[in-house]
Amino acid sequence: MISLQQVSKTFKDRGGSFNAVQSVSLEVGTGEIHGIIGASGAGKSTLLRMINVLERPDQGKVFVGDKELTALATRQLRKARHSIGMIFQQYNLVLNRTVSRNISMAMELAGVPKPERLARIDECLRFVGLEDKANQYPSQLSGGQMQRVAIARALANSPQVLLCDEPTSALDPQTTADILEVLRHVNQTYGVTILIVTHDMNVVKRICSRVSVMEQGKIVRTAAVADGEGLDDA
């Protein structure tokens, strides 16, 4: 489902250059929940953002499904991104939009007719257990509820892939467990392939089938979580 082939990314500033990701190759199978773990600055989030080409690799290729995203023109890439949902650490909700209108945004950009949008909003809210929050604003919600809204928004366009950038790091342990169960339910119900970036091995052990460990912009090992060999030192 996801194939990264020798992707690299270097950032430049007045102080010089920084190799954020260095010649990384990774294969994530259809329907898999795959973790990427490493210390702050290891390149995890940059790698995740290259999968939907929010960060364009300096070198290498990115495939999602049968499409090479790195070869697409801007309009084609924008359309391809409709099949890739993304969840962020700080939720990234629009504060002056209600819960319903936050979920509607991706569908509006995709040109989904209003009756279909309304039906899908209801479906997504039921899925994350927030049917009664449709007309509230993000400031009226708890952190866990805001992340559920973010998940509902990411599901609105029925994505094949869900990219999660530290989705539980701002949450308490019980709310983290609840959000991870929602993501597991997404995977099991819709067959969505999930890639989750985290610094917490407990998150990986709870939800992921495989995990890749990043250090200094490189994947140094990939293993099945059930095996666990060498992962406790990550």
Residues 14-51 pLDDT 10s: 878 899 999 999 999 999 999 999 999 999 999 999 99
Q: Residue 41 half-sphere exposure, CB side, CA atoms within 13 Å?
A: 3
Query: Into how many domains does the chain fold?
Result: 1
In this structure, are residues 175 and 98 in contact, taking their beta carbons and an 8 Å threshold? no
CA distance 163 to 89: 11
Q: What are phi and psi of 48, to 5 degrees?
A: -60, -45
CA distance 26 to 222: 9
104: closest CA among 152, 146, 136? 152
CA distance 180 to 167: 9
The enclosing domain of 110 has a CATH number of 3.40.50.300
State residue 170's pLDDT score. Answer: 87
Token pair in block for residue 160: 């094949």
State residue 106's pLDDT score. Answer: 85
Low-confidence ranges of the chain (pLDDT < 70): 227-234
Token pair in block for residue 207: 């939800």
Angle between helix 114-128 and 99-109 (nearest 10):
130
Rg (the chain; Cα; Å): 18
State residue 16's pLDDT score. Answer: 84
In this structure, are residues 25 and 199 in contact, taking their beta carbons and an 8 Å threshold? no
11, β-bridge pairs: 18
SS3 107: helix
Please give the residue range of the domain that contains residue 70: 2-233
State residue 89's pLDDT score. Answer: 87
Q: What are phi and psi of 176, to 5 degrees?
A: -55, -50
Whole-structure pTM value: 0.92
CA distance 184 to 168: 14
